[in-house]
A and B are shown apart, each in its own frame.
Chain A
Amino acid sequence: MDLFSFALLTPYEWSALRLSFQVAVCAALAGLPLAVAIGYFLARTDFPGKWLLEALIHLPLVLPPVVTGYLLLILFAPRGPIGAVLSGVFGVKIVFTWWAAVLASLVVSFPLMVRAIRLAFQGVDPRLEMAARSLGASRLGAFFSISLPLARRGLVAGWLLAFARSLGEFGATIMVSSNVQGQRTIPLEIYSLKSQTDGIEQCWRLVVLSILLACAALAVSELLERKQSRHESA
Chain B
Amino acid sequence: MSRLSFQCEHRFSGGFALDVAFDVDHPVTALFGPSGSGKTSVLSVIGGFLRPQRAKVVLGERTVLDTAAGIDVPPERRQLGMVFQTHLLFPHLDVEANLRYGQRRRQRKDRPIEFDRVVDVLEIARLLKRYPGKLSGGECQRVALGRALLSGPEMLLMDEPLASLDASLKARILAYLQRVVAEWHIPTLFVSHSQAEVRRVADWVVVLQQGRVVTAAAPGEALSRPEPLGWKNAAGPVNLLRLEELAFRDDHATGRVGDQLLYLPPMERPSASPVFVQFSPADVTLGRQDVTGLSTRNHLRGRVCRLVEVDGAVFVAVDIGQILWAEVTPDAADELDLKPGSEIVCLLKAHSLHVVE
Contact = CB atoms under 8 A, between A and B. Distances in A.
A146 B98 CA distance: 11
B133 A130 contact: no
Interface string B105-137: 111000000000000000000000001011000
Interface in B68-92: 74-82, 84, 86, 88, 90-92
A169 B258 CA distance: 84
Contacts of B82: 131, 134
Interface size class of A (residues with CB under 8 A): 20 to 34
A134 B82 CA distance: 6
Contacts of B79: 136
B196 to A, nearest CB: 27
B151 interface: yes
Contacts of A231: 131, 133-134
Interface string A127-163: 1101111111111010001100110000000000000
B76 A137 contact: yes
A198 interface: no
B76 A234 contact: no
Contact of A232 (B106, B131, B147): B131
A2 interface: no
Contacts of A138: 74, 76
Given A134-B76, A137-B76, A150 B105 contact: no
A134 B131 contact: no
Contact of A127 (B76, B84, B106): B84
B106 A136 contact: yes
B83 to A, nearest CB: 9
A233 interface: yes
A134 B133 contact: no
B151 A135 contact: yes
A46 interface: no
Nearest to B106: A136
B47 A134 contact: yes
A130 B75 contact: yes
A187 B72 CA distance: 57
Given A127-B88, A150-B92, A132 B101 contact: yes
Interface in A41-86: none
A234 B139 CA distance: 15
Contacts of B91: 150, 232
B102 A135 contact: yes
Given A232-B133, A233-B133, A132 B90 contact: yes
Instruction: List the 3 shortest-distance A-B pairs measured between CB atoms, nearest first.
Output: A136-B105, A135-B102, A234-B133
5 contacts: A127-B88, A130-B75, A132-B101, A135-B102, A150-B90
Interface of A: 125, 127-128, 130-139, 141, 145-146, 149-150, 231-234
